[in-house]
Structure 1
Amino acid sequence: MAVSKMSKLTLIAQQGYSEQILSAIQGFQGVEIRDLFQQTVSNEWVEEYFEEAAPLPSQDGLSKIDQQLEEIAHAIQFIEHHGSSREKGMHLKRQQATLKTLEEKFDESALLAELTSIQELEQRFTEMNEKQRVLHERESLLQKWQALDFLAEDFSLRSANYFLGTVDASVWELLEQQIKERQIYYELIYSDEQLVNFSLVYLRKEASIIQELIHQFSVITFTYKEKELPKVELAAIQQVLLESVEEQKRLARLIGQKKISIESLEMAEEVLLAYKNRWMIHDRFIKDDKVFLLQGWLETASFNRFEAFINDLIGQENLYLEIEEPTEVEIAEEIPTKLKNNAVVKPFEMLTEMYSLPKYHEIDPTPWFMPFYFVFFGMMVADAGYGALMLLATTLALRTVLPRGMERFMHFFQILAVPTIMWGLIYNSFFGYSLGYPPILSTSDDVISILILSIIFGVIQIFIGLGLAAKENIKAKNYLGAVSDGFAWQGIMVGAIVGGLGKMLLNSQPLFMVGVVLAIVSALLIILTPMLQSKSKIKGLAKGAYNLYGITSYIGDLVSYTRLMALGISGGSIAAAFNMLVGYMPPIARFSVGILLMVALHGLNIFLSLLSAYVHGARLQYVEFFGKFYEGGGRAFRPLKTEEKYVNIEQEK
């Protein structure tokens, strides 16, 4: 239960095996590829023997993959949005598989054929939409002119002419008055709140007057050149629209039938994403027309398994494998961190990752804080009913294949359901109700006892944190630092506890004096140790005095642990208050509206209780515990793997 030991892997093979090897490494999911051209650590030989810069693979490969991924995403979106609702969209049910299995099932020609078929449907669907848009625009226009009862070719008077126009409704009355004053014949064809369509018949000698009116009132000329009257054209357009709607429905059914292809499209997308991830690291290794050489980091313990796997796949005679211990410079500047814990502790690694991973040479804090977080979370939620509900929900969720992150999250809360039930039984709380036996600790009568217990837990955790600080200093051969940062503070804490017991509980003066002497000696060590470490004794003394002043922060740390008591009591009290509120309702309301109210109120309380316990439990680790010994700043181990967007990729063996 620590940071995994890492080794540097070197692999050399013939160039022809490069893609096969990269696919195997990606399926193995345990090797992080080093960038031989960007990493300056231990890569002097690259410049010496490979003078040319990093190979620049053709962008055509990436462009092709990106284009296919874009087409797949667009096709799925098009099918879902425009396909008939009669057919059910069959999305890929999350499953587990090896990358090799996925790639063997991948048929690029079938994918391209399916995408072409969908694109043709989309083109026809788009053309139909455009046709309908044009028809609707024409229909809307003709509806405003359907009262027109003559055509241009029917108007054959030599001395007269006609005019069709549209004017803003706000100026129509004024224009109409001008027309009447000039004794020009007009007809109102259509009008609404926004516009007016009209026709004029006038003598040709009055053309200048008409033009003046058109200009004065910003009249828009309407030209109608069809061979049939607007009402006849309108009827024909409406018939075509009815036919196009039927055609659109038929296309929607055809598109809906493509929903059965969504699964295969998503599977193809998963494989293409794997191809893209492999392509993205093509500039990290050496590859020419003869040789393929890469380096990477992998867990030392997994090398034998990787060696057997790759030799079986490629043939031992076709490649060269070697691992070596990382140098001090590589440990300081490059090597990644991978945590290694058992199944119970592993879900809690996400809390460490949220804060910061340890450096390669640093202790993994996860197994040290996990028992405390386990206890603290249960103590803050502290309801057996809530815990049972958590356990049931997470267990049911884990029976399905979940994304990796969600799976770890479910395991995390499944484990935390156990202390929640235990503390609920201790507090005798089941959805805010009593289980009918005297509680071991009562949230109403034993508040002081719960408060003291919270502080005791805090003292234990801080004491362990100081011990870890001393351990880290000893590992670094900083023995004086182990005294000043760890043992001396532990001595003050032990002295204070012993002195307090002797004075207040056991009434023992000798025991009290032992505690006082131990605390004083420890305080002197905190002051004097920096003097021994510093060249300037005065600066060392000042630093030691400042360090001792930090004892005030320890008081604040212990006070922080009282939130364990406060949140545990408040959550149970709120649940009991909800029950009391519903209990005051009449029987009819209690078993109708009351049930819904209970579900809503307890649902809210569960959410707030879990959120509070999650956040405050993490804060106690990050501030009060990690602050005593933990630095962090490690770089996460990022092996070559797939996106796992739809499928959990199993490690190939």
Structure 2
Amino acid sequence: MAIVKMNKFTLLAFESQKYSLLEKLQNFENVEFAYLLDDEETSFNELKRNSESIEISEIEGELSKIKFGIDLLSEYSTKVGMIKSLKEGKKDVSYETLSEMVSKSNWRDIYAQLKEKENLINKNKSEISKLLSNIEELLPWANLDTPLLGLNSLKSSISFLGVIPQVFMESVRNELHESFQGYYAEVISENTREANLLMIFHKEEEELANALLKKYSFSKASLNYEGVPKEIIKGYKEKIDELKQSNNTVTGEIKNYAIHLEEFKMVYEYYENKLIRLKSMEKFLKSDKIIAMEGHYPSKSHDKFMEVLHHTLGEDYYIEFSEAEGDDAPTLLENNSVFSAFEPITAMYSIPRYKEIDPTPLFAPFYILFFGMMLSDAGYGILMLLATGFALSRFNLDKDMRKTVKMFLYLSVSTIVWGVLYGSYFGGAIKIPPVWMTPESDVGLLMLVSIAMGLIQIFVGLGIKAYILIRDGKPLAAFLDAGLWYFTLTGSIIWAVSALGSGESLNLSPQIVRVAGIITVISMILIILTHGRGEKSIGAKLGTGFYSLYGITGYVGDLVSYTRLAALGLATGFIGSAFNIMVGMLGKSIFAIIFAVIIFTFGHIFNLLINALGSYVHTSRLQYLEYFGKFYEGGGKAFEPLKFTSKYYNISKNNK
């Protein structure tokens, strides 16, 4: 249960062997390459940066085509249900199988055919959109029974086709009647806002007609169509039907290609993993014949690493080893089955530096304890236990998802225990006496227990800080920076308990209280005098010391934060009880019973989900702010070895 020890290596090999070497190392999945420097201060200043940009660009282009095929075929393939998908999980396939399949696949021809069909569909859709737009433009003129272009070929007359606001129509009619001897005006269609008109005048009255139309905001319609509008619309609709039928036919043809979906996914995995290898080469340096690389691997895998090199390169390589050191070394966490489930919580905050302590096993017990205390309902815990147990036993989950589900499995056990202690089963729906106490009746005791648990975790955090300082050869700093806070906080608590009149109930004698007060004062003075020891001037030393002592208010705030353990536990019980009260008020008719079952089921599921989320968030907050702040910094770089990706398949390693 620690950070895995790493070795650092520098390897020189023949440039012609790099492809086969990287393929073997990707299968090994335990080597992370570092970006090798090529400046004048290194021994590689005569080598140049290895670049595979052309081949990378080509493969990225291939992947773009493959992704197109996957996306298109996925639309037309048979959908697998979520439950079935979780049960089946990702299929296992070896990289050798992928390579062999790709060499035989004609996926490029299939892609070209699919692309052609998609282009045809898009072309048809674009044409349909254009025709619909034309129909929309022609619909107001559908009642016009004369060819549109014929209106422009009148010899002695001039026609106007356009729109006038409805509010002007009466005025237009009156002025037409008064001002023109011979004219023709027809309302083709109209609505409450506007009227679509056809008007014909003698050519000698064109100027007068234009003035009239301009006066009443006439908007000319530009309809460059041949034929009668109704017939044009009919033809367009028939064309749209033809295009839709064409698309249906092409869609049916694409569905026949769905059998190639898995083939495309396998091709994708092959090229994606090849791309990863090529991109890793950009960290290398090379000459015409030599390739130089540097990186890290777990020390425990040394023999296997050397076996891979010897099997791939024979004796034609040079390698140097050293023990990894410094914060540049990557961090790989290694914990047992229980604690490893909580590694995502650590990663969500920050990966520890290589030489730092792994906080996962140090916070996981508190996390389990606190989560259960916040959710604190045995009924909810049993539901979580059954759900997570079913998922782990029946679903083929990937590694990260399995960790998360296992974490909630362990949290469900804690929830059951606290529920039994509180006597809480679905918010009191099941009446079983508590083993310890009833939270809503013993709020004061619950708050004290919450603060006590917080104090324990804070003291453990200070103890870890002291251990780290002693480990690093700083025992005096351990006493000054952690030990003095133990004395200060302990003495302050004893004095505060006595001042509040609770000393007698705890059998605290006046002598103990007096000694505690003296120790507290001495510890505070030492904090003021020593916590600024890194400063140069006396004023700065004292100022830093006083500021450090002021940090006692932070400890008080931390202890208050732990009252959320009680608050969220009470909230879970109160919300659950509220749903139970609602159910009890519904009566005993058949409809009331059905409604009661619905309210009970969905109400308690809602309460479980919302308070499980709250417990997860607030438990994480207590670890990150109140606990980690005592001893943990983070800021490390996770170990990310060259390995196979598994987007669609689990690529199994070849152990030969």
TM-score, scaled to structure 1: 0.85
Asked if 1:30 corresponds to 2:20, the answer is no
Aligned positions of 1:434-453 closer than 5 A:
434-453=430-449
* 1:144–1:189 contact (8 Å) kept in structure 2: no
- Determine the structure 2 residue equivalent to 1:120: 116
Distance in 2 (alpha carbons) for counterparts of 1:8 and 1:129: 59
- Determine the structure 1 residue equivalent to 2:467: 471
Distance in 1 (alpha carbons) for counterparts of 2:372 and 2:484: 32
- Determine the structure 1 residue equivalent to 2:453: 457
Aligned positions of 1:282-293 closer than 5 A:
282-293=281-292
Distance in 1 (alpha carbons) for counterparts of 2:457 and 2:155: 108
Distance in 2 (alpha carbons) for counterparts of 1:15 and 1:89: 46
Asked if 1:375 corresponds to 2:369, the answer is yes
Alpha-carbon distance, 1:284 to partner? 0.9
Alpha-carbon spacing, 1:195–1:645, altered in 2? closer, same or farther (3 Å):
farther
- Determine the structure 1 residue equivalent to 2:610: 608
* Aligned partner (choices 188, 191, 194) of residue 190 of structure 1: 188
Alpha-carbon spacing, 1:125–1:394, altered in 2? closer, same or farther (3 Å):
same
Distance in 1 (alpha carbons) for counterparts of 2:504 and 2:148: 117
* 1:381–1:571 contact (8 Å) kept in structure 2: yes
Alpha-carbon distance, 1:613 to partner? 1.6
Asked if 1:420 corresponds to 2:415, the answer is yes
Per-residue CA deviation, residues 302-347 of structure 1 (Å, 9 max, x unaligned), is 23233334544x25335445432135xxx14x22222221121112
Alpha-carbon distance, 1:539 to partner? 5.2
Query: In structure 1, what residue type is equivalent to 2:425?
Result: F
Alpha-carbon distance, 1:521 to partner? 5.3
Alpha-carbon distance, 1:378 to partner? 0.7
- Determine the structure 1 residue equivalent to 2:594: 592
* 2:90–2:396 contact (8 Å) kept in structure 1: yes
* 1:148–1:189 contact (8 Å) kept in structure 2: no
Aligned positions of 1:556-575 closer than 5 A:
556-575=557-576
Alpha-carbon distance, 1:582 to partner? 1.2
Gaps of 5+ in 1: none
Greater mean alpha carbon deviation, residues 29-38 or residues 379-388:
29-38
Distance in 1 (alpha carbons) for counterparts of 2:110 and 2:268: 13
- Determine the structure 1 residue equivalent to 2:78: 88
Asked if 1:407 corresponds to 2:410, the answer is no
Query: In structure 2, what residue type is equivalent to 1:392?
Result: L
Alpha-carbon distance, 1:518 to partner? 5.0
TM-score, scaled to structure 2: 0.84
Query: In structure 2, what residue type is equivalent to 1:280?
Result: K
* Aligned partner (choices 125, 128, 141) of residue 129 of structure 1: 125
Distance in 2 (alpha carbons) for counterparts of 1:264 and 1:467: 57
Distance in 2 (alpha carbons) for counterparts of 1:157 and 1:283: 73
Distance in 2 (alpha carbons) for counterparts of 1:154 and 1:509: 116
* 1:79–1:258 contact (8 Å) kept in structure 2: yes
Greater mean alpha carbon deviation, residues 468-477 or residues 515-524:
515-524
Alpha-carbon distance, 1:624 to partner? 2.2
Distance in 2 (alpha carbons) for counterparts of 1:225 and 1:504: 100
Distance in 2 (alpha carbons) for counterparts of 1:100 and 1:467: 49
Distance in 1 (alpha carbons) for counterparts of 2:563 and 2:551: 20
Alpha-carbon distance, 1:295 to partner? 1.0
Aligned positions of 1:128-527 closer than 5 A:
128-140=124-136, 145=141, 147-149=143-145, 160-161=156-157, 163=159, 165-170=161-166, 180=177, 181-186=179-184, 188=186, 190-193=188-191, 194-198=194-198, 200=200, 220=220, 226=226, 231-312=230-311, 314-326=312-324, 331-332=326-327, 334-398=328-392, 399-433=394-428, 434-493=430-489, 504-506=505-507, 508=509, 515=516, 519=520, 522-523=523-524, 525-527=526-528
Alpha-carbon spacing, 1:153–1:505, altered in 2? closer, same or farther (3 Å):
closer
Asked if 1:19 corresponds to 2:24, the answer is no
Per-residue CA deviation, residues 392-449 of structure 1 (Å, 9 max, x unaligned), is 2223333323454433322221221111111111111111124523432221343333
Matched residue of 1:324: which SS? strand
Alpha-carbon spacing, 1:231–1:279, altered in 2? closer, same or farther (3 Å):
same
* 1:531–1:538 contact (8 Å) kept in structure 2: no
- Determine the structure 2 residue equivalent to 1:9: 9
* 1:169–1:192 contact (8 Å) kept in structure 2: no
Matched residue of 2:283: which SS? coil
The CA RMSD measured in Å over matched residues stands at: 3.7
Alpha-carbon spacing, 1:197–1:289, altered in 2? closer, same or farther (3 Å):
farther
Distance in 2 (alpha carbons) for counterparts of 1:311 and 1:12: 13
- Determine the structure 1 residue equivalent to 2:551: 550
Per-residue CA deviation, residues 52-77 of structure 1 (Å, 9 max, x unaligned), is 4x23433x433333333334444454
* 1:27–1:98 contact (8 Å) kept in structure 2: no
Per-residue CA deviation, residues 131-164 of structure 1 (Å, 9 max, x unaligned), is 3334444545565555555569999999745636
Distance in 2 (alpha carbons) for counterparts of 1:460 and 1:307: 47
Alpha-carbon distance, 1:574 to partner? 2.2
Greater mean alpha carbon deviation, residues 72-81 or residues 291-300:
72-81
Matched residue of 2:43: which SS? helix
Greater mean alpha carbon deviation, residues 516-525 or residues 250-259:
516-525
Distance in 2 (alpha carbons) for counterparts of 1:258 and 1:407: 34
Greater mean alpha carbon deviation, residues 620-629 or residues 248-257:
248-257
Alpha-carbon distance, 1:253 to partner? 2.4
Per-residue CA deviation, residues 103-129 of structure 1 (Å, 9 max, x unaligned), is 425527533222212111112212222
Greater mean alpha carbon deviation, residues 485-494 or residues 350-359:
485-494
* 2:152–2:159 contact (8 Å) kept in structure 1: no
* 1:90–1:263 contact (8 Å) kept in structure 2: no
Query: In structure 2, what residue type is equivalent to 1:198?
Result: L
Gaps of 5+ in 2: none
Query: In structure 2, what residue type is equivalent to 1:442?
Result: T
Matched residue of 1:18: which SS? helix
Distance in 1 (alpha carbons) for counterparts of 2:480 and 2:91: 52
Sequence identity percentage:
32
* 2:420–2:435 contact (8 Å) kept in structure 1: yes
Query: In structure 2, what residue type is equivalent to 1:550?
Result: G
* Number of corresponding residues: 636
Per-residue CA deviation, residues 428-473 of structure 1 (Å, 9 max, x unaligned), is 1111124523432221343333333323322322222121111111
Alpha-carbon distance, 1:547 to partner? 3.5
Greater mean alpha carbon deviation, residues 423-432 or residues 102-111:
102-111
Query: In structure 2, what residue type is equivalent to 1:25?
Result: L
